[in-house]
């Protein structure tokens, strides 16, 4: 399928779109200037600070820039920042912005804008809230310098500001960043390598990003979220499609790139001509089976422990993913292959022990409700295996089938099972979200104020604080390992292992960046 | 006749009000909570409560209803919970593909079904008639999406003649439009063809048995002439009726067809909205669909009085 | 009606035999339906396994002598699931037909007989009819949560208005009949009139209508599952099999095609049977249609 200029205008207000297109006849066709993509989800919310949805985060990376960003080794590197000056007592951080940064509307990026942006993020994001709690003052010094003054030394300032996954502290113009944190922003002006074409945005169908010509990339090569972000196409188009349609469209060349290939379809696409499948995500995804700590029988720690002993990671991955190229056994709560990986405290399968524990727990056949999202290609088999494995030790399991959106609603219920409550659900986090004790929202143990499942554990909170305040990398590692042991011992969740969702693309696409998050700079399409 | 038209127009009002009440009641009594879906995977209970109150979902239900009706009367269909865009804008964006698909489907169906129905009536009782009738029943029986996938598999992936998905506007890309609309039209037409064929056959059969046709035949007029000049002309009214009634079928079918072929029309919009519990979109769309149906059928009823003055209500 | 009582049993049989010869399609449809019903009832004895058991077979294995219809993407046996699916689909068809006919009959008789309520009832029915059935059904399922019962009810509601209109039309025409007017004149109670005079006239067209409702209900159930608003996926209905299989359609088309074609066959059989019954029971309508 060749792509005509007209394709781009299909069904849109043609005049508005034309204005954004280069005029004159089509350029030489050696390099195409449009990249057609099917992202992993339907973009509905445009405010990546307001929501933690991954698709809104990816949208954020298209149009916004960040002060710091994680590189291939998950180390924070300056991105919008030219130079960083940390005082000897580690209390004062001065970040100087690079020259030439401008917003999409042409005005210059100032330190004021960045301060407002950090403040808004600090109200919503978990790591941001922690940072703000130790912050004494956050202010602009002139138009270039952002000055952060802390109350006490804090170990993860740059890890927070350079956070790779939701919520990412994206920089927005002050007028936008002054939107109350619990209200969505409407203005999509950013300073990133692409601009959002809001006039032609059709939620549920199409989102268009156009190259921001005045973006000044860093000189370094791209490395995960860090390095030079060079937009090599004039336009990136995100289409919403279901898996089957996306596969067909990729095979027939109607799209160039599919962000998340459903496991079952990997083999078909591998055989298709001119299509490639590749895993670009080094830290993968972490499968979780979460317990509800408020509702019987999973409010009983011994029952949780028995269930953990009944589960065998291998079985989950084999059934849900199938192809061993795309999964990895992992006993760590942090992605295997990253800094804090550890086997400490992992609960291995032991059916005899599990049965004994269950007997001692006083469990007497109460129903255990699992929320099963049947429309989800990975979580659905996870639930089925979970049910089989814990039935085997004598638990009375009730699988409640529903769609994923309904799971998201039902899991918010703290009621007992007979009033619409639940005991377990399966979910996943991208590895980038669980690289350390603070990034993982699910690691939280703040009880009913925290994440679904509402685990409450003072000890775990102390360990997270210890990590945040760690003086050295060794101390940090120690705190991270202690937290892992604590979470396993307390039956925080069942670790279902690591899996990878590959991308599928036409062989004309080049320049993909290996990262836990999908970026579209640096990518190009041959004609 | 004027008084009939006035009465007919007025009679649509209570129906529209009932539709509005049914739609509102149905959706607001659902246990699903859009706030939770919006809040996303990592949201805490506090955040969810805040979103709920921002959306006004914590107000008493009758207050929500009064607010909604008030807005409706001003032509305001509300704001999508998820995208923060006005529902009327979202509908406007999606209108063209659905409208085009409906038009091509109606044209294609009538072009195929009317001759088939006439032929079946003409050959009434023979094997031709029976085969046509069985095929028309098959049209009712075959799941729309199975046919859709078969077409995609054969013509999109194996033969590579047509695009597997998507929609192109005829105003900017006529060739692309034709290529992309062929398979969805065939898919959606099936049930419609079945319906129109049956009605055409029945109506033509009835007319054929009337005296003046017998006379015409006896006078030795050529069969084809009799068929088209007299029979079909008189069968036009029931055929028009069924096209009106069929609008509801068409809308139901469009929901599925647009999903199969990834056409960004109203059908996909409503399915996505339902799965996400985006109340304002669901309410707005069901209202729009229903009102369209009510108005089309009203216009057809009124049109009868011009075509066929014998009809009175 | 009257003629039936006067013929003997053998006479009836002969009549049906003659009917079958003159309506070969109807006869074939009847046979297909009987086979499907038997297959559904005898599912556990027809070489099947546990329809929900995953991983019994390798995933997505094509049909073979070992697994006649192959396996799906969770390694479940498609033959087994198709047979058990027949139970669900036929049950949905039957339940929806019974419920919509009986409710429609009740409402239609009330509406046709009690003029005061008539206007209100008919406006509500018009309102319901103007909401596209599939949307109303999806809406109702999302309101009440997906279960076999809620899906059945959700499919029933949009079918009721058509039945009500049919019944009301019959009631209105029967009311004008001299013998009914006579009955009213001598003070016969309304329920008795409805029972004795109106109901018998409704039965033949309603039986015909019931078959059409059943056929459309089976199709709607499949569409709802396809759109993600049908019976809970743990229930092996044909709609669910197709909905789950559609993602892998290009690699494993049998997962969609086998239940799809079986469903089409079943609906076709019910529809053809309906046409046949109409010709047999209700020649007046038959002529009109």
Interface list for A 19-78 with B (CB within 8 A):
42, 44-46, 51-53
Helix %, strand %, coil % of chain B (to 5): 80, 0, 20
Min CA distance, C240 vs chain B (Å)? 13
**By the CB < 8 Å criterion, does A314 face chain C?**
no
Instruction: With a cut of 50, say whether residue A460 has pLDDT above it.
Output: yes
Within 8 A of A399 by CB-CB distance, chain C residues are: 234
Q: What is the mean pLDDT of residues C166-178?
A: 84
Query: CB of C201 within 8 Å of any CB in chain A?
Result: no
Report percent pLDDT > 70 for chain C.
88
The CA radius of gyration of chain B, in Å to the nearest whole number, is 24
**Closest Cα partner for A257 from A37, A459, A489, A18?**
A37
Mean pLDDT (chain B) is: 80
Residues B77 and B84: their CA atoms lie apart, in Å, by 13
Indicate which of B37, B141, B203 best probes the interface with C, i.e. most C CBs within 10 Å of its own CB. B141
C234-279: pLDDT as tens digits:
778 888 888 888 777 777 888 888 998 899 889 888 888 888 887 7
* Residue of chain C nearest A320, judged by CA positions: C74
- To test the contact with chain B by mutation, choose from A38, A44, A453 the residue with the greatest count of B C-beta atoms within 10 A, namely A44
Please state, in angstroms and rounded to a whole number, the distance separating the CA atoms of residues A252 and A275.
10
pLDDT for residue A453 is more than 70: yes
Contacts of B154 (CB under 8 A, 6+ apart): none
Domain boundaries, chain C: 2-288
- DSSP state, residue B86: B
Q: Under an 8 A CB cutoff, do B206 and C140 touch?
A: no
Q: What's the rounded mean pLDDT across residues C130-134? A: 81
Mean pLDDT, residues C191-218: 85
- Rounded to the nearest 10 degrees, the angle between the axes of helix C199-226 and helix C78-113 is 140
Q: Please tell me which of A51-60, A501-510, B91-100, B148-157 the model is most confident about, judged by mean pLDDT.
A: A501-510
Whether the CB-CB separation of B256 and B267 falls below 8 Å is answered with yes
Query: Which pLDDT score, from 0 to 100, does residue C2 have?
Result: 40
By Cβ distance, the residue of C146, C234, C247 closest to A265 is C247
B26 vs B24: CA distance, rounded Å: 5
ipTM, 2 dp = 0.77
Alpha-carbon distance B273 to nearest alpha carbon in chain C (angstroms): 11
Provide the pLDDT for residue A299. 94
CATH homologous superfamily of domain B91-307?
Answer: MetI-like (1.10.3720.10)
Q: Where in chain B is the domain with CATH 1.10.3720.10?
A: 91-307
- The reply to whether omega before C129 is within 30° of 0 (cis) is no
Place A21 in a pLDDT band, splitting at 50, 70 and 90.
very low
Quick one: three-class SS letters along A53-88?
Answer: CHHHHHHHHHHCCECEEECCCCCEEECCEEEEEECC
pLDDT band at C283 (very low <50, low <70, confident <90, very high): low
Contact yes or no for B252 and C127 at CB 8 A: no
Q: Tell me the pTM.
A: 0.81
How sure is the predictor about A6, in pLDDT bands with cuts at 50, 70 and 90?
Answer: very low
Contacts of C245 (CB under 8 A, 6+ apart): C72, C73, C252, C255, C256, C259
**Residue A527 scores a pLDDT above 80:** no
- Residue A336 in this model has a pLDDT that exceeds 90: yes
pLDDT of residue B260: 86
Q: What six digits make up the tokens of C204? A: 């033949």
Question: Measuring CA to CA, which residue among A191, A173, A169 is closest to residue A102?
Answer: A191
> Are the C-beta atoms of residues A300 and A423 closer than 8 Å to each other?
no
Chain B closest-CA separation from residue C26 CA (Å): 10
Convert C132-143 into a string of H (helix), E (strand) and C (coil).
CHHHHHHHHHHH
Radius of gyration in angstroms for the set of CA atoms belonging to chain C, rounded to a whole number: 22
CB contact B277 to C (< 8 Å): yes
Write down the pLDDT at residue A215. Answer: 95
Contacts for C239 with CB less than 8 Å, ≥ 6 apart: C89, C221, C222, C223, C224, C225, C226, C230, C231, C259, C263
How many C-beta neighbours within 10 Å does residue B134 have?
16
* C56 part of contact set with chain A, CB < 8 Å: no
Number of A to C CB contacts under 8 A, please give it. Answer: 50
A426 vs C64, more confident: A426
User: In the CATH hierarchy, which fold is given to the domain comprising C2-288?
Assistant: MetI-like fold (1.10.3720)
Q: Is pLDDT of A30 > 90?
A: no
Q: Is the pLDDT of residue A277 over 90?
A: yes
pLDDT tens across A142-190, in order? 999 999 999 998 888 999 999 998 889 999 999 999 998 878 898 999 9
Is B204 a residue whose pLDDT tops 70? yes
What pLDDT, on a 0 to 100 scale, did the predictor assign at position A29?
43
Q: How much is the mean pLDDT over chain C? A: 81
Segment A378-419, tens digit of pLDDT? 898 899 889 989 999 999 998 887 777 678 778 878 888 887
Q: What is the DSSP letter of A26?
A: P
Does C273 or A4 have the greater pLDDT score?
C273
> How distant is the Cα of B250 from the closest Cα of chain A, in angstroms?
21
Edge-to-edge strand list for the sheet holding A493-499: A327-328, A493-499, A285-291, A424-430, A367-373, A396-402
pLDDT of res. C214:
92
Q: Is A369 on the interface with C (CB under 8 A)?
A: no
Q: How would you class A270 by CB atoms within 10 Å of its CB: exposed for 0-12, middle for 13-18, buried for 19 or more? A: middle
Average pLDDT of chain A is 88
Q: Per residue in A146-158, is it b (16+ CB within 10 Å) or e — as a string?
A: bbbebeeebbbbb
CB contact under 8 A, C251 and A265: yes
Q: Is the pLDDT score of C52 beyond 70?
A: no
| pLDDT of C129 higher than 70 | yes
Which residue, C133, A453, A405, is CA-closest to B30? A405
What pLDDT, in 10s, does the model give residues B257-295?
998 898 989 988 888 887 777 778 888 888 888 888 888
Residues in Cβ contact with C175 at an 8 Å cutoff, skipping those fewer than 6 apart: C112, C113, C181
* Residue tagged 């030394």 (tokens): A153
pLDDT per position as a tens digit, B106-130: 899 989 988 898 888 888 878 888 8
Mean pLDDT of B196-207: 83
Q: Does B107 touch chain C (CB under 8 A)?
A: no
Residues of A numbered 232-261 whose beta carbons fall under 8 angstroms of chain B's beta carbons: which are they? 239, 241-242, 245, 248-249, 251-252, 254
Q: Cα(A502)–Cα(A326) distance, rounded to whole angstroms?
A: 8
Judged by CB atoms closer than 8 Å, whether chains meet at A399 and C233 is answered as no
pLDDT for res A13: 33
């Amino acid at each position: 399928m060749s792509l005509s200029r007209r394709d781009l205008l299909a069904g849109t207000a043609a005049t508005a779109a034309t204005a954004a297109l280069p005029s004159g006849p089509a350029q030489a066709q050696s390099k195409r200037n449009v990249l057609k993509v099917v992202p992993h989800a339907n973009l509905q919310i445009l405010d990546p600070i307001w929501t933690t949805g991954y698709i809104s985060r990816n949208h954020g990376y298209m149009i916004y820039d960040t002060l710091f960003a994680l590189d291939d080794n998950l180390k924070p590197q300056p991105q919008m920042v030219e130079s960083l000056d940390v005082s000897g007592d580690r209390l004062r951080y001065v970040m100087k912005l690079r020259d030439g940064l401008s917003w999409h509307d042409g005005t210059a990026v100032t330190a004021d804008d960045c301060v407002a942006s950090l403040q808004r993020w600090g109200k919503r994001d978990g790591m941001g809230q922690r940072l703000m709690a130790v912050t004494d003052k956050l202010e602009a010094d002139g138009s270039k310098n952002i000055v952060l003054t802390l109350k006490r030394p804090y170990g993860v300032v740059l890890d927070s500001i350079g956070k790779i996954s939701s919520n990412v502290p994206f920089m927005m113009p002050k007028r936008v960043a002054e939107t109350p944190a619990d209200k969505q922003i409407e203005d999509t002006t950013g300073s990133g390598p692409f601009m959002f074409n809001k006039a032609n945005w059709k939620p549920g169908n199409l989102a268009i990003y156009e190259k921001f010509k005045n973006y000044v990339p860093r000189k370094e090569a791209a490395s995960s979220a860090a390095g030079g972000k060079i937009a090599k196409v004039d336009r990136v188009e995100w289409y919403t499609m279901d898996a089957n349609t996306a596969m067909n469209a990729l095979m027939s060349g109607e799209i160039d790139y599919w962000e998340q290939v459903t496991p079952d379809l990997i083999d078909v696409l591998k055989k298709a001509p001119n299509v490639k499948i590749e895993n670009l995500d080094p830290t993968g995804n972490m499968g979780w089976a979460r317990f509800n700590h408020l509702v019987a029988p999973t409010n009983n720690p011994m029952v949780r422990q028995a269930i953990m002993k009944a589960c065998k990671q291998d079985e989950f991955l084999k059934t849900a993913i199938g192809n061993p190229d795309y999964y990895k056994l992992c006993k760590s709560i942090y992605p295997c292959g990253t800094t804090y990986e550890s086997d400490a405290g992992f609960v291995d399968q032991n059916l005899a022990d599990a049965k004994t524990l269950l007997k001692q727990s006083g469990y007497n056949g109460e129903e255990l409700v699992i929320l099963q999202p049947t429309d989800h290609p990975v979580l659905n088999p996870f639930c089925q295996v979970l049910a089989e494995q814990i039935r085997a030790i004598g638990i009375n399991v009730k699988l409640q089938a529903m769609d994923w959106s309904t799971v998201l609603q039902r899991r918010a219920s703290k009621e007992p099972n007979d009033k619409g409550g639940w005991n377990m659900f399966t979910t996943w986090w991208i590895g980038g979200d669980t690289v350390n004790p603070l990034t993982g929202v699910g690691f939280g143990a703040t009880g009913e104020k925290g994440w679904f499942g509402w685990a409450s554990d003072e000890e775990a909170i102390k360990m997270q604080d210890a990590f945040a305040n760690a003086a050295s990398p060794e101390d940090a590692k120690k705190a991270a390992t202690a937290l892992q042991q604590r979470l396993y011992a307390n039956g925080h969740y069942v670790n279902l292992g690591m899996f990878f969702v590959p991308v599928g693309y036409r062989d004309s696409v080049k320049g993909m960046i290996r990262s836990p998050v999908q970026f579209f700079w640096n990518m190009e399409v041959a004609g | 006749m004027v008084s009939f038209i006035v009465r007919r127009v007025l009679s649509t009002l209570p129906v529209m009000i009932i539709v509005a009440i049914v739609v509102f009641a149905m959706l607001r009594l659902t246990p699903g909570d859009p706030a939770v879906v919006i809040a996303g995977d990592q949201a805490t209970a506090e955040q969810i409560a805040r979103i709920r109150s921002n959306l006004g979902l914590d107000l008493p239900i009758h207050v929500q209803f009064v607010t909604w009706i008030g807005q409706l009367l001003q032509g305001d269909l509300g704001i999508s919970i998820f995208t923060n865009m006005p529902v009327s804008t979202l509908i406007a964006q999606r209108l063209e593909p659905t409208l085009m698909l409906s038009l091509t489907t109606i044209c294609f169906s009538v072009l195929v079904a009317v001759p088939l129905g006439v032929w079946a009536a003409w050959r009434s009782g023979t094997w031709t008639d029976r085969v046509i009738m069985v095929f028309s029943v098959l049209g009712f029986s075959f799941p729309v999406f199975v046919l859709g996938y078969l077409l995609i598999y054969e013509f999109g992936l194996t033969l590579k003649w047509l695009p597997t998905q998507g929609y192109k506007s005829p105003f900017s890309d006529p060739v692309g439009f034709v290529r992309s609309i062929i398979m969805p039209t065939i898919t959606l037409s099936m049930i419609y063809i079945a319906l129109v064929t049956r009605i055409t056959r029945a109506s033509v059969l009835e007319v054929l048995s009337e005296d003046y046709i017998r006379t015409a035949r006896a006078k030795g007029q050529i069969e084809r002439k009799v068929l088209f000049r007299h029979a079909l002309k008189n069968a036009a009214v029931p055929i028009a009726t069924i096209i009106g009634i069929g609008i509801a079928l068409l809308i139901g079918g469009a929901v599925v067809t647009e999903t199969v072929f990834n056409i960004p029309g109203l059908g996909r919009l409503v399915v996505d909205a339902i799965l996400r519990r985006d109340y304002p979109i669901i309410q707005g769309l069901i209202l729009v669909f229903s009102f369209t149906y009510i108005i089309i059928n009203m216009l057809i009823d009124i049109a009868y009085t011009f075509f066929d003055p014998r009809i009175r209500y | 009606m009257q003629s039936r009582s006067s013929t003997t049993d053998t006479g009836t049989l002969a009549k049906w035999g003659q009917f079958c010869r003159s309506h070969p399609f109807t006869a074939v449809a009847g046979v297909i339906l009987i086979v499907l019903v038997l297959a559904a009832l005898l599912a556990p004895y027809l070489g099947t396994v546990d329809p929900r058991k995953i991983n019994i077979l390798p995933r997505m294995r094509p049909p073979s002598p070992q697994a006649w219809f192959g396996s799906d993407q969770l390694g479940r046996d498609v033959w087994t699931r198709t047979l058990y699916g027949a139970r669900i689909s036929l049950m949905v068809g039957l339940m929806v037909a019974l419920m919509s006919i009986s409710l429609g009959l009740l409402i239609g008789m009330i509406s046709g007989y009690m003029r005061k309520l008539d206007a209100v009832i008919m406006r509500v029915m018009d309102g319901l009819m103007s909401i596209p059935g599939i949307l109303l059904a999806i809406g109702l399922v999302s309101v009440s949560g997906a279960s076999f019962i809620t899906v059945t009810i959700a499919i029933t509601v949009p079918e009721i208005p058509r039945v009500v209109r049919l019944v009301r039309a019959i009631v209105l025409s029967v009311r004008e009949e001299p013998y009914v007017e006579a009955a009213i004149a001598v003070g016969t109670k309304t329920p008795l009139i409805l029972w004795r005079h109106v109901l018998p006239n409704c039965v033949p067209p309603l039986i015909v209508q019931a078959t059409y409702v059943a056929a459309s209900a089976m199709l709607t159930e499949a569409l709802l599952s396809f759109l993600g608003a049908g019976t809970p996926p743990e229930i092996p209905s044909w709609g669910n099999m197709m909905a789950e299989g559609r993602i892998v359609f290009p690699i494993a088309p049998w997962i969609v095609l086998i239940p799809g074609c079986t469903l089409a066959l079943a609906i076709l059989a019910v529809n053809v049977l309906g046409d046949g019954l109409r010709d047999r029971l209700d020649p007046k309508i038959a002529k009109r249609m």
